[in-house]
Chain A
């Protein structure tokens, strides 16, 4: 449900659409231009991995904590990945304190899907004693400043934090897991990137700003793996897309994903052979 404070005057939506008719946007970007992306890694020493992702004025922080736990019964030989995103009131006057709402849950699950489907983290390498002890990766994401496109910002922060995570090495002695002082990165296979589009009236723009999000009728988030495969899709909001709009977004989104990926930390190499 749209909260009342999120309603913008129709006139503002009309002016955004009038600009788009000329191929222009409020902040001077072209419809397919992404804002500048900035990633700061290892922002939090206490976390095993962390990153701040900025897209224009949008800012999100993600931290990775690793702990030993039990596997899910249906995947006894795999580590566990838990992604949680929260839109805390610090980030916007429209966010309220309280338990995660449906927007928080949707973002968490879309980010989770992009990471999981792409098999970014090779969870099969994170079972220490299969069926008993596995690594549990908690990725917690907090919005810090909301100027639109939190989906992509959360994805960037989460993947950057995972790419820079250092976890203790382990040895198994008498069926007991011992954590060593020495650290190693996570086994990473690919770096998924999401690209979000907004449909405003009959126009499509990439990387919507907050003002554009207030005016958007529908949202489409596409996540791509390193080789250009589609690993997650999410349409949101009570609008619709035509077939052609989706195919166009796919073409443009895949190109943009390659540019954005250049800002991500590299895939850690030392993990590939354990």
Chain B
């Protein structure tokens, strides 16, 4: 819900309430392989967002009639924990969560080589433990890493960030306050290596020029997130190599 635009989200030096510049991301931390049972998993802290993602599959499809003969089906469940937001959220899936599960799935699926695993399902479970604006994007960023961690062949990772408009200025990576009191919000996901956009949504009011500026800013932010994703994945394998070589000598 957009409220009246009386709230000052930028100070006189042009800095945001949390001290960031307009083109600055919040601190980002990604950990890979955090859950033992899942085939792949990742944990992300993006600003105050804390999100955990598990990937199961490719595995048998239940119910069976959902099976596709030529490719795997991808299923995504985006869910917010009741304690993730200031006012307790009912654990039942809301309309928002239903829509977000759909758009997140459609943002990830273009990257997955689904035709390699006919008659199977790849399940992605996203649990938002703490929300602070931009949860769908942080979820996509973490889910792509979890899919890679599960060893699922992919064309590229998918990285995402939201851009928006606060006090008339285009800003990168909105937090909850900026999303709530700003004039527009535009989540974007990309396969950064392939330069293709797999999620694009917007609400609020953007002129054509602002829209272009926002999309350009999102793309530059996504490059930074992409680097962090690859670093996180590498770190896991470096650790593994150290364990193996350390044990062998």
Contacts and interface: CB of A to CB of B under 8 A. Distances in A.
Interface of A: 1-2, 4, 72, 74-75, 102, 105-106, 108-109, 113, 116-119, 220, 225, 228-243, 246-247, 250, 254
Contact of B3 (A75, A102, A118, A237): A75
B103 interface: yes
Given A238-B106, A238-B109, A231 B205 contact: yes
A54 B119 CA distance: 39
Contacts of A225: 205
A243 B197 contact: yes
Interface stretch (B10-18, B48-56, B168-176, B208-216): B208-216
Contact of A74 (B3, B96, B101): B3
B26 interface: no
Contacts of B205: 117-119, 225, 229-231
Nearest to A3: B66
Contact of A109 (B2, B96, B211): B96
Contacts of A109: 95-96, 99
A250 B211 contact: yes
B110 interface: yes
Interface in B181-199: 184, 186, 191, 195-199
Nearest to A237: B106
B105 interface: yes
B65 interface: yes
Contacts of A113: 203
A75 B110 contact: no
B150 interface: no
Contacts of A119: 205
A240 B201 contact: no
Contacts of A239: 110
Contact of A243 (B73, B110, B191, B219): B219
Given A1-B66, A243-B219, A250-B208, A231 B197 contact: no
Contacts of B106: 235-238
A51 B182 CA distance: 33
A233 B186 contact: yes
Nearest to B219: A243
A102 B201 contact: no
Contacts of B102: 102, 105-106, 236
Contacts of B103: 106, 234-236
B65 to A, nearest CB: 7
Interface string B128-150: 00000000000000000000000
Contacts of A254: 208
Given A1-B73, A225-B205, A236-B106, A230 B95 contact: no
Contact of B110 (A108, A118, A232, A238): A238
A237 B203 CA distance: 19
Contacts of A231: 203-206
Contact of A246 (B74, B101, B215): B215
Contacts of A105: 95, 98-99, 102
A104 B196 CA distance: 27
Contacts of A233: 186, 200-202
